[in-house]
Amino acid sequence: MTSSEHLCGFDSNFTNVAAYIPFRSREMGDRISVAFPETRDRLGRVAWTHLTFSQLDDLTARYAAGLRGAGFGQGMRTLLMVRPSLEFIALAFALFRIGAVPILIDPGMGVMNLLGCIREVEPQALVAIPEVLAFRKLWPGPFASIDIEVSVGARWWWREGICTDSFLSGEPDFSIARTSPEDMAAILFTTGSTGPAKGVVYRHRMFEAQVQQLMNFYGIDSNDVEMPAFPLFALFSPALGITCVIPEMDPTRPAQVDPAKIVEAVRAFGVTNTFGSPTIWRRVTEHCIRKKIRLPSLKRVLMAGAPVPVDLLGRFSEILSPGAMTHTPYGATETLPSTNATGEMILEPQNLLRHRNGGGTLVGVPLDGMEVKIISISDEPISNWTDVKVLQQGSIGEIAVTGPVTTREYFRREQDNLKSKIMDGERIWHRMGDVGYFDEAGLLWFCGRKAHRVVTSEKTLFTIPCETIANRHPLVFRSALVGTGVAGRQHPVMIVEPRSGKYPKNRREADVLKSEVLDLLAGDPITSAIDRVMIHPQFPTDIRHNAKIFREKLSLWATHKQSLRGFLYPGF
């Protein structure tokens, strides 16, 4: 397989993911590299704009020349705030090309969290759409470290400054910064849905390893057409030499996607491969089944970012062709992908039975080069792997991962590095913050977040296995195990959210539902220690997927609900 080291002249001291762009330009030429839904006419017909591989190479080189001329240089931390578009991909690779370090932050985390991330990372430069530059005037503090700013597109009439359109008339600079494999390539912030958002340091070798994994493990080749619903994954398509179709959607709100527009894009370009949230595909599969639509071009559907329901995997058989595969890669911004489970694997009778009996969620087998261990659960830092106790097969513990795509550190977060990273000679293990176990077949099962476990005076309860038992009740949409009281002597409480239209109308109906769920819990050894059930009208969840439950908020709700002022809080 091609690697950027080979593209950089077989120099092991020179690795830059931007080297793929001129290589693919020579290899693919006039084939479409990136397509974007620019607008719709009065009849609702979409007008697509695109760049060929040659055009992307040229545009990237012109942007690189313009950025260098504006004062950008190697190692410069650059906040890149551009919507998914042709320009986003070209500008990201232009920054890689000159050796600058793009900083990518999910705008869906909320304004105050976003500003906190910017203040923490202290960017030296800003490349952004005009709205962000205007926003900077309103909130100057977090942007104080920025010396250079560039507006994407044309210059607004009321302000002076550098704009990317002015770069287009200049001469392209096709040179590539001679970055080493260990040079910082980017800072990618976690979404903040499972804890404070943190800047993850990516090295050039990590991007290279991810490209190789996608090609080798998933069998992606130049005949594929990709539709990435995560903006970051749009950057892999040009490196892989495949057409990238940017979908018409707000990537910060996948739960609000218009499924008809996703279907339209798949059909228009014959999309073969897609990577996105299961929230998107819940809406798309429901739409397709309702409209009797099939998507025969799709060969691979990769879903990540939130739990993938078993019923969703089952629905794909009604819209995909025989032989098409669904995948649920497991990992995190800090190490992605680490393991993979196929839909076929998850739906095997023995695995389905284990899941329904509280065995957790199957996340599959480690990818080539990745190593996963289950270690004893601890909330304390572990400095060296020699201090780790590795658990035996079948024991639930903390999931630790190492491999070529595992990042070594967070940016300026020493305490988080101490809590999350374990030195092992030249290797670094990343503590996922998740708990799970390996079964007798060597398959990895996920049992929830470490921070969400409920530790009573007698035993430790894990969220996913316990909640699976409560979810058996036909009126329960989803459930959440929380603990109230003192750490180490918590009282377990199962909170349930009824299905739409099934919320109890009065206290009597609520008592019946709670009693029935309690009977389910009492009848299973996994959940028999849970003796309290509460009903919540609508769980607090992450904005992006509407799937990750904020159990910390529910724990506070349960605590208040049990107090003298409980009548002030909704629910039963």
99, with CB counted inside 10 A (0-12, 13-18, 19+), is buried
Three-state SS at 162: strand
Write out pLDDT tens, residues 8-30: 544 557 899 999 999 999 999 99
- For all residues of the chain together, what is the average pLDDT? 93
Quickly tell me which residue has 């398509």 as its tokens: 237
Pick from 36, 84, 56: which is nearest to 172 by CA? 56
Pick from 80, 73, 129, 409: which is nearest to 234 by CA? 80
The crossing angle, in degrees rounded to 10, of helices 507-522 and 463-470 is 120
Sign, CA torsion 132/133/134/140 = positive
Pairing of strands 243-245, 225-228: parallel
Quickly tell me which residue has 């040179």 as its tokens: 175
Residues of the chain with pLDDT > 70, as a percent, come to 95
Domains of the chain are 1-23+49-202 (3.40.50.980), 359-449 (2.30.38.10), 453-568 (3.30.300.30)
Write out pLDDT tens, residues 430-455: 999 999 999 999 999 999 999 999 99
Task: Judge whether residue 389 has pLDDT over 50.
Answer: yes
Pick from 47, 48, 46: which is nearest to 36 by CA? 48
Please give the torsion angle defined by the CA atoms of residues 153, 100, 1 and 304, in that order, rounded to the nearest 10 degrees: -70
pLDDT of amino acid 491: 96
Q: Is 520 left (phi over 0), alpha (psi -120 to 50) or beta?
A: alpha
Average the pLDDT over 119-138 and give the result.
95
Nearest-Å Rg of the Cα atoms of the chain is: 25
Pick from 433, 46, 66, 69: which is nearest to 249 by CA? 46
Q: Which residues of 449-468 are buried (b: 16+ CB within 10 A; e: fewer)?
A: bbebbbbbeeeebbbbbbbb
Q: Any idea what the Cα angle at residue 25 is, between residues 23 and 30, rounded to 5°?
A: 155
Average the pLDDT over 413-431 and give the result.
97
Return the structure tokens found at 439: 């079964």
Q: Any idea what the Cα angle at residue 538 is, between residues 532 and 541, rounded to 5°?
A: 100
Q: Where are the alpha helices (DSSP H) in 396-452?
A: 414-420
User: Do 67 and 151 form a contact (C-beta atoms < 8 A)?
Assistant: no
Measure CA of the first residue to CA of the last residue in the chain; give whole Å: 59
Q: What is the DSSP letter of 123?
A: -
Of 146-160, 310-324, 430-444, give the lowest mean pLDDT range.
146-160
540 preceded by a cis bond (ω within 30 of 0):
no
Task: Judge whether residue 143 has pLDDT over 90.
Answer: yes
Task: Judge whether residue 110 has pLDDT over 90.
Answer: no
Write out pLDDT tens, residues 242-293: 999 999 999 888 888 999 999 999 999 999 999 999 999 999 999 999 999 9
pLDDT of amino acid 6: 53
